[in-house]
Amino acid sequence: MSKKQKTSDISRKKLLGVAGVGWMFDAMDVGILSFVIAALAVDWNLTSSQMGWIGSVNSIGMAVGALVFGVLADKVGRKKIFMWTLILFSIASGLSAITTTLAVFLILRFFVGMGLGGELPVASTLVSESVEAKERGRVVVLLESFWAGGWLIAALISYFVIPSDIWPIEGWRVALILTAIPAFYAVYIRMHLPDSPQFSAKPEAKNRSIMKNIAGVWQKKYSRATLMLWILWFTVVFSYYGMFLWLPSVMVGKGFDLITSFKYVLIMTLAQLPGYFTAAWFIEKWGRKFVLITYLIGTAVSAFVFGNAESVSVLLGAGILLSFFNLGAWGALYAYTPEQYPTVIRGTGAGMAAAVGRIGGILGPLLVGYLLKAEYDIGYIFGIFCVSIIIGAFSVLLLGKETKQIELE
């Protein structure tokens, strides 16, 4: 291995580590929220509709953040936006731990969502533009795998912290305080993270108007990819947040107590890591379209079985497969999205697609809350998500192009 190759490997690992830890903290916040919702339902006597709104207002913020910060990333650079979004969501998350009313909690969750929604597409764009084509997909999926680490930490904190009565305040408040840690990490990012070399090599990008960038994603050359991404993002995010934010509550609804429910969700969360790692392997071997379609179909089947499970073993087995396939598909989605656009509109294109997806994230939790209140069966609800995921898979099959190891424009 040459000296140049060794330097490149060190830089890639450093970038992956720095961006990945930020990604992990984001996942920790989203993961903890699903457990906090279940705890708040008990402490604040929330209805299923109010529980749904907690998840949905988070997604409203994510939609706004993805659009606003995605556009700004093409104006001021990926690194600055990555840092700003981390600070925003960290501070808002910490403040949400001390609120005493649902209204204030919802407002703060909106700002948490803004930071989170802006950070994810910007981070994947930054990493995509900083590694070679032959390993770009694998590295971005490995970046996404830090999400599983964050969810695992969230599940551990929720299992050991939230139900415990050793704290002078409610356990869910302690859990949310722990999510404020990334604010300190943002300082480290500013000192050590380089900006995208492709963006730095395009000084004219800063002079393009925001409206020109937004219109650019619908140019004839990119309109097919944009349509495919918008359908894919909407269906994936709609089903993910509809299912995963409600997992602990669904387990409680199936007759398990809070601690047992948290334990089962923790077991399911462990399956996310092999889902990511297998997707990272296949994505450069068999391509993006293969991974997305295969893992989305696996998600759809697992969702259907989970929703209709009548025994603990089937419930756990289906939940494990649901985590495995769904998060593997997420990794491929983040690798695939930035590859559809040239540098000058890559942040805008990725941010807009993510913003459309977050609209699905708004509707998913609300739909579950409404249907549960109307006493619809869990199997029926998960059947809706099953159909949604299949629609997303077909959009990739019919409209998507393969981008494996293709140099970015």
Instruction: Give the CATH number for residue 116.
Output: 1.20.1250.20
Domains of the chain: total: 1
Helix axes 102-128, 78-96, angle to 10 degrees: 160
Q: Is the pLDDT of residue 259 over 70?
A: no
Does the global pTM surpass 0.75? yes
Is 199 part of a structural domain of the chain? no
CA distance 192 to 393: 38
> Is residue 157 in a domain?
yes
Angle at 325 between CA 322 and CA 329, to 5 degrees: 130
**3-state percent breakdown (helix, strand, coil) of the chain, nearest 5:** 85, 0, 15
- How wide is the angle at C-alpha 47 spanned by C-alphas 151 and 62, nearest 5°? 45
pLDDT in tens, 128-166: 888 887 888 888 888 888 888 887 888 788 778 877 777
**Does residue 245 form part of some domain?**
yes
The pLDDT value given to residue 11: 67
pLDDT at 3: 43
Instruction: Compute the C-alpha angle 225/215/116, nearest 5°.
Output: 70
Q: Is residue 296 part of a domain?
A: yes
Confidence band, pLDDT 50/70/90 cuts, at residue 257: low
Task: Name the one residue in this structure whose structure tokens are 């706004």.
Answer: 64
Torsional sign, CA 325, 338, 121, 396:
negative
For residue 83, what pLDDT is reported?
A: 84
> Is 139 inside a domain boundary?
yes
Which two structure tokens, joined as six digits, stand for 50?
């109010």
In a domain, 132, yes or no: yes
**Domain that residue 233 falls in:** 11-191+209-399
The confidence score (pLDDT) of residue 190 equals 66
